[in-house]
Amino acid sequence: MDPATGKSRFVIVPASYVFLLRETDAGARGRVTEVLLQLRQNTGYMDAHWAAAAAGHIERGETAESAARREALEELAITDLDLAFATAMQRTAHDLPIDERVDFFFTARSWSGEPRIVEPAKCADLRWFALDDLPVPVVPHEAVVLEGLRRGDLAPLTHHGFRLD
């Protein structure tokens, strides 16, 4: 509570996301960039949507990069990610009392280990998809980032949920 105004203080929830990317030979289509996505279940948020294979809240005292590496280990059992910063996204949901977020998105094209489902209660499936042929539905704010990656014009700062003029 802000002592000067008596109103609740503004709260921002930070999170880190990792999109694992790989290049594959698609025959007549040539080289194709693929992304590893998980199918969410039993999380209470966007269940039955495809999402980054590794993502989660940043813990107190943790950097965005450290959180990305921790989530990749906890959710995919992989280490030694060669993280590349993709974008920071400020997002909001006007219909919720406190839902102001800053998300840090990273990509990784190399890592150690074979990605696998570590939390089967939360992840119904784990699959590679071509960036130009994503499944439906994808978590909406993550779809914005994936589209920018596909087009090659992802801005370093993105927004979701705002009524921008």
Domains and CATH numbers, the chain: 12-160 (3.90.79.10)
Q: Let me know: does 69 contact 95? Beta carbons within 8 Å.
A: no
The pTM of the whole model exceeds 0.85: yes
For the stretch 115-139, pLDDT in tens is 999 999 999 999 999 999 999 999 9
Q: What percent of the chain has pLDDT over 90?
A: 79
DSSP for 21-77? EEEEE-GGG-EEEEEEEEEE-SSSSSTTSEEESEEEEPPTT--HHHHHHHHHHHHH-
